[in-house]
Amino acid sequence: MKITVLLGGTSSERDVSLASGLRIAEALRSRGHDVIAIDTAHGILSRAEEQAMLSGQLMRTVPPDVQALVRMEQSLPQRLNGIPETEVIFLGLHGGRGEDGTIQALLDLTGVPYTGSGHLASALAMDKELSKRLFRSVGVPTADWIMAPATEQEVAEECGFPCIVKPSKQGSTVGLSLVKDPAELQAAITEAKLHDDEVIIERFIPGRELTVTVLGGEALPVGEIIPVHELYDYECKYTPGMAREVFPADLTAEQTARVQALALEAFKVLKLSGCARIDFRLAPDGEFYCLEANTLPGMTQLSLAPQAAQAAGISFPELCERIVSLALTSGGRS
């Protein structure tokens, strides 16, 4: 099968996307597929460039022209149509316009099938406030929240301290702060606003960090993340040795069934499809609180979705093939 992998881009998660996309391309080639990798900020990558990136000898940076992605989006339909016999697009993008529904809407115009969720579901999942409203509409618990701007008194009344301050439409914990001292609130909001035009402030839920990968409507084994830092932040996610992941998580059968059921409800209410990851906190009172949904989960060697698949007996190349198959079937996207 002829597959095009989109990776890189110009979001704050570019490096993660490059690592994910290159690994996806190699995995699909190992299964006999004809794969082209396109860095959306630069264009088609040669095999030599891919190998140099994989070995760490070459890492293309984002061009100084910040309009690169805008131009790419404008020319994407023609560019994809110009790739001979591309049968499916594998989205290895993370964050920004690669995950918020923009690229998905453009791909809808080309008529070429693509992996992951559609443009509406992608936009809903990326917007944390809308996601939380939808979670609550189907009985999926989520932490209380308030949107910035907000005073210290308003946050104390609605969420309490400590609280989490983060961009409302970002991933990989970019721009996230744990605020314990009310005097630090406004600085945290300012930091988050560097990454998004909307900032969400939510009650901090202490407890265990859990994740459920959903693959084609099936919940894979639950994972637990035990980070070195108090929060599972960007450094812990992508630095070897900064977090320990346990698959399957040490939960009772009842707890496992409960959090998997909540993950499936979250997956459905957001109209997600393909492969997605739903993150939770297990609070000391035994309740699971949904943190967010990730429509294009990372596929690096340290990423959680591949570990969940491995725990289910699914190899990484097989996981990639199954994601492609979901994109090609009528049931693959809501």
Catalytic status, residue 277: yes
**pLDDT confidence of residue 246:** 96
- Cβ partners under 8 Å of residue 278, min gap 6: 211, 212, 213, 214, 262, 263, 266, 267, 290, 292, 293, 294
- Running along the chain, 334 residues long, what does each successive block of 10 average in pLDDT? 90 84 96 92 84 71 51 61 79 87 87 93 95 98 97 96 91 80 96 91 96 97 86 63 89 98 98 97 97 95 94 98 91 47
CATH placement of domain 125-141+206-332: 3.30.470.20
Q: Is the dihedral of CA 288, 293, 294, 295 positive or negative?
A: positive
Name 48's Cβ contacts closer than 8 Å, sequence gap at least 6. Answer: none
**pLDDT value of position 67:** 55
- Catalytic-labelled residue, pool 9, 13, 23, 171: 13
| 13 included as an active-site residue | yes
Query: Are 296 and 274 a contacting pair, CB within 8 Å?
Result: no
Question: May I ask the CATH architecture of the domain 145-203?
Answer: 2-Layer Sandwich (3.30)
288 neighbors 282 (Cβ within 8 angstroms): yes
Q: What is the pLDDT of residue 33?
A: 97
Which residue in 11, 17, 131, 172 is the catalytic one? 172
Q: How far apart are CA 184 and CA 178, in angstroms?
A: 9
What's the pLDDT score for residue 75?
Answer: 64
| pLDDT value for 27 | 97
- How far CA 197 is from CA of 21, 97, 204, 250, 299, in Å, comes to 28, 14, 22, 39, 28
Looking at the DSSP bridge assignments, the partners of residue 226 are 244
Select which of 50, 245, 265, 279 is catalytic. 279
In this structure, CATH architecture of domain 2-114: 3-Layer(aba) Sandwich (3.40)
pLDDT of 53: 81
- Whole-angstrom CA distances from 278 to 135, 139, 223, 308 are 11, 15, 11, 12
C-alpha closest to that of 173 among 229, 134, 240: 229
294 is catalytic: yes
- Could you write out the three-class secondary structure of 272-286? CCCEEEEEEEECCCC
Q: Which two tokens stand for residue 103?
A: 């690229």
Every domain of the chain and the residues it spans: 2-114, 125-141+206-332, 145-203
Please give the backbone phi and psi of residue 176, each rounded to the nearest 5 degrees, phi first.
Answer: -90, 140
Amino acid 58: pLDDT? 58
234 is annotated as an active-site residue: no
Q: Which of 23, 97, 277, 333 is catalytic?
A: 277
Q: Has 208 been annotated as catalytic?
A: no
Check: CB of residue 190 under 8 Å from CB of residue 148: no
Q: In sequence order, what are the residues at sequence separation of 6 or more whose Cβ sits closer than 8 angstroms to the Cβ of residue 210?
A: 222, 223, 224, 225, 249, 251, 259, 279, 280, 281, 282, 288
Please identify which of the residues 202, 209, 233, 292 carries the catalytic annotation: 292
Given 96, 116, 298, 332, the catalytic residue: 298
pLDDT at 64: 41
Active-site option among 11, 294, 303, 332: 294
**Catalytic annotation present for 172:** yes
Amino acid at the residue 56: G
